A and B are shown apart, each in its own frame.
Chain A
């Protein structure tokens, strides 16, 4: 699926996290670099402004931050970009010396944007479970429809697995008001403040990330930290090289022209996928709200940027450069089309970059996708909005059994081992000799088995601080770090950045028409006039009340 794109459509737009079509594909595997798209704004839905409700300061609920650095990055963070490591350390630190588990079996539900691995005889699962000392049995569901499944599972609290991954853009309606307190375990008594010292790898996760796991003043979530830069527009550099085309894209018109130039329908090659995500980025459409100069809140769908992005995307579709299957909204196959060269430009999460290398280098060693350097539609200075501190978190099923909670947290502590630890190595690369072998330079070379078994599973439960250590793909860490260091200079905080805000239930569906409208206007089925009408409907259906709700949060901040 075209992940990100979707995500964006969903998360960004709407006032809720909607997600029927969700997104992500990409989450990169691994704690390291996960490409979860950004701009998914806080999707909560339900009331009481998440984070700090009822006058409880968020700071009291989160763990103390006690950083531990095992290795210095080769490409240090620039303005918050993800630090990169171009090689593995010679010796790994074992951060959790003895397996913390009791031999119990726990169930866990996670999404996956890929082929679900066989559980039977899975050497990766076996090795990680051995490290944990307990067994985690995964119930993996298709990531593209994960939100739908989640909404159903969470409606029946007794059927909830022990450990549930909840992507932010999939937060179901009523999550903060009703679900989290009724279904999931309050972790505040176990982790807040210095109590986290019992779990050093959890204490190593930055405070901003933890804040995003707080609902109604209590800590519920275990985070998978996100990258500050989340999405990019990729092109197939290897194919463009073959065609003898060197892209020089400095504004929106350049990109439209390039997409059209690359299109050769007769030979089954089209320039682009649906570039709605790109449209939103290059026009600087705010993730959700923006504060105007006169101090009033403006929703993204009311902004000129949003309108301009729609107009641009409609021009793209009208030019005929979009692959017909993408026009038919067959988004699930977008990656496949892009990776097989049937479409050459695609917006996706940054994490999709290394996933694409993982999936394609074997059959096509020349495969390379490269993101365009950030640009603005009008050729000016681009505006990039920061991604959430965590895009995916997990929750433990509510229980009276304190020992069970402590055991699960101990397992979480082991899984959260940062780069440089044996735990990180195992969870991200698998077992040496089985899932990878080391080449002359000590870099891991994945085996075929790795592609089927080492899928992102444990990492979706939680991970240590985000790093880019995908050293197994030649040139990747360097290229990615360079792109990020450049892009990070354009980053800006979206309004309400890093706050877990849950909107009242009654506004859950008022954003839906915009998702449909984005598809309709892009494909020329409706004109931009329909947008004015939709905005009017949105206002009267609760949009203005929603604005007041956010104004309140702003005033009380």
Chain B
């Protein structure tokens, strides 16, 4: 995971960095020629190259296809022979109640998970960090990581087998004379179900970053605090949490950028169980309109709206982080 590294570099900028990025106490910046910069960073640039190529080929080039949002696109006519229709697709998107329903669901799921899913890995990391025995710790870690590698199909099936109307829990209840309950098909509690599934699958994976951040805290700080008479809670409040703060903010911003992307597979798999009223989100909506019904342009317009909103969220959150003195995801050079 590169994030903690990134953070560390930002937090403790190397004073000798010559390009002047955040080196307030260093010597005055000395401008290198572009060529000298390249020569100096050669190995770093080489290392980043494969990622840049992947990004260009699979993210930036396809982005050009977004022009179809302003046309009535057909794959058999191509981008430039399809008739242009101006903003018509966008008008259709915004006047479509199903799209608005999808937006509403997306926001509800995001907000709910931000409150009930996002903090879980932090708590887990703090808990694990307090376990002294390395053997116990790695064992627990491995167990909680594991579900991350299961596909959503498997996760949803497992939940159905455990909590479904004919699942283990309900059957056991029935055999002991209690009424069963309805978790998997109840639209009213779907948000809770989704979040439970996400926590089970991914919370363990999420702690990696926080554990890495925690491992950078010098034990001397704790020792010094203990000598000064700080108890466990004060040590956590004054040392551990401040150490985690930049990572938490960073991840929060990244999460906001992703916030309109909520579990596509997870939702599509449970669509029939709870109905589209609560399970249709922007991504599934775009998929059905575009791929399944062949209305590519309409879907592209809807997807573009989502992209623009996501970008605005990231920029806004980043700005906010700067206002509060955090470095956020990036800073203007």
Contact = CB atoms under 8 A, between A and B. Distances in A.
A16 to B, nearest CB: 7
A335 interface: no
B102 to A, nearest CB: 12
Interface in A242-261: none
Given A179-B76, A266-B174, A329-B272, A151 B166 contact: no
Given A265-B180, A327-B185, A525-B275, A18 B164 contact: no
| Overall SS of chain B's interface | helix
A295 to B, nearest CB: 31
A489 interface: no
Interface stretch (B113-121, B243-251, B292-300): B292-300
B292 A148 contact: yes
A173 B164 CA distance: 36
Interface in A237-284: 265-266, 268, 270
B288 A327 contact: no
B74 A178 contact: yes
A525 B164 CA distance: 17
Given A329-B272, A523-B185, A525-B187, A174 B74 contact: yes
Contact of A325 (B165, B171, B270): B165
A508 B74 CA distance: 14
Contacts of B271: 329
A542 to B, nearest CB: 12
B276 interface: yes
Contacts of A20: 288, 292
A147 B292 contact: yes
B262 interface: no
B76 A182 contact: yes
Contacts of B294: 45, 151, 172-174, 505, 508
A319 interface: no
A121 B293 CA distance: 39
Contacts of A183: 76
A503 to B, nearest CB: 12
B166 A268 contact: yes
Contacts of A173: 293-295
B292 A328 contact: no
Interface string B280-300: 000000001101111100000
A331 interface: yes
Interface string B259-281: 00000000000111111110000
Contacts of A505: 294-295
A311 B250 CA distance: 52
B275 A324 contact: no
A174 B175 contact: no
Given A265-B174, A268-B171, A324 B166 contact: yes
Contact of B184 (A147, A152, A328): A328
Interface string B44-63: 00000000000000000000
Nearest to A157: B76
Nearest to B292: A20
Given A173-B294, A173-B295, A523-B185, A328 B273 contact: yes
Contact of A152 (B270, B277, B291): B291
Contact of A520 (B166, B275, B288): B275
Contacts of B187: 525
Contact of A328 (B165, B174, B288, B295): B165
B77 to A, nearest CB: 8
B166 A342 contact: yes
Contacts of A331: 272
B134 interface: no
Nearest to A20: B292
Contacts of A174: 74, 76, 294
Interface in B119-157: 157
Interface stretch (A95-103, A192-200, A220-228, A511-519): A511-519
A123 to B, nearest CB: 32
A151 B273 contact: no
A516 B165 contact: no
A329 B273 contact: yes
A513 B99 CA distance: 12
A509 B288 contact: yes
A264 B54 CA distance: 56
Contacts of A508: 293-295
A266 B75 CA distance: 54
A156 B75 contact: yes
Nearest to A330: B160
A161 B302 CA distance: 32
A453 interface: no
Interface in B84-111: 98
Interface of B: 74-77, 98, 157, 160, 164-167, 170-171, 174-175, 180, 184-185, 187, 270-277, 288-289, 291-295
Given A328-B164, A509-B293, 6 more contacts: A148-B292, A152-B291, A178-B74, A328-B165, A329-B273, A330-B157
Interface of A: 16, 18-21, 45, 147-148, 151-152, 155-157, 172-174, 178-179, 182-183, 265-266, 268, 270, 323-325, 327-331, 342, 505, 508-509, 512-513, 516, 519-520, 523, 525-526
Nearest first, the 10 closest Cβ-Cβ pairs linking A and B are: A324-B165, A329-B272, A173-B294, A509-B293, A328-B273, A155-B75, A178-B76, A508-B293, A324-B166, A516-B276
